[in-house]
Chains A and B, each alone.
Chain A
């Protein structure tokens, strides 16, 4: 009798000791997700849905220019589990191979010209005359800093391509001559407050940002909007000089369709939750669906460029990713 009681207590103790191990199997704890400013709104919704599926995980989002976020990880050593960039090349250039093993391309975007009903010539602008309006005196328009924000150099590329597409030599120069340097902002999202406060008439943004902020926008021809990767050879004609690794050094960025990349960092504090989060993001009925609804056409399925990189993916992500350059 006495012995069996001891036995029961031992079994009980054993269970009590084991139970935290059970909890460990399920992703839990804090998950730090760094992402491009342009992903803020869809990622907020994706994080909320994800937390509903995994109630023990708390997703902490931090957003900013993709380059800056990558720098925070690589230079400052800021802890992050997941990093999603508006230009997948940011992950390749700053984080690989030291901080990340792979780079999954999961969505695309395109550039549009945003405005509000208060903007000058708002009732006139169309997809065919936008560049004429941007050249008019008194029209205030801007883009983000090409050195800090991919949206910035992409805006410049769109205008270069417009010169070629509409066969208007000198258009790019004429456009920039009507854009004083003070109309440049660090991040494209910051231009929205200038639009909404009536300090600016037109701003270059991603389509997704325009949709999410309920702005009016001019959708451009596929030849120049950097949204369709079938036109990548055409886009390559655009060249923008941006700062290199140190002041005074420059690198040339060539036109390319807007492609988002995501990775889990090698030194992630919470790899279980990170894998679960990325798996949810890449699932067609989960994250990809939300992205689509918010004006950010996803790649279904997501892709990596090489078999070698595919091999390095966590086991749970492999079925969600195809090999396609």
Chain B
């Protein structure tokens, strides 16, 4: 396909790899975005870059960072009489305190997987006698699409469409990460499609206040290697800044219309992240004028919860450990029977290590 295949040519990859090795620089780099994690695992880049470059995964998988408490709220909502809960595919398999949404559905809850928030609007139109709640997860890439659906529902005067917003913002999470005591990352590979919406300046504080080089990267293997090269070069030269490798998609000012749509509907609020805890201003809640659509204000019975016992997803999400260091990895936790969300999501770090980086071989027979 155009704009994809040309960035996968082996000749380009060999050239980039050579450029990286010639710098002979050691660095620990974090790929923030789950889509990057999956691309890196699938294309086998991690072992090619070792031992000089250590690529660790970050908190950029929206399904994975959804807290135990919020999964509990989702299942409680889905279990209400007359409610249809619609959400993106991976969310239905994340275990919460009362099990997964899929399990709730086998107990009689109505759960629908949709590709677009607009599909949830269609569900509301087709089922006027039911309350359709969209469980909104995702970062700056996705939140504007959900905001657009909310505006459309308002325009149409739909009375049975509601939203539980679990949306989160990437820059506050990066700020929380670099402020951690044990933080030791030499550079960030920044998410390409979050940056399509945000632009480049949202990350300016990382090089300016923390001296950390950043590269916004595309998702094809050649993009990722180029980004690694640029990060290493900035580290070697001691000249950190935010570089945009993905210039075919990311404008320096971002997509203003998408941002305006997002902030017309949402405002920033505190949000709880798995692994990172509550981060001020890192979530999005519906503005006052959309409160009547807010399923987050409904009275729900949610069990009290802590982190799942034995699950190290929180440490994986902060780059503290790699999936094989978790005692449950490939044993009590596999893609077929996931214990933690990082093994559920199609872009979770544990799932990508299991599928593409030898995790399956570690499974006892």
A and B bound? no
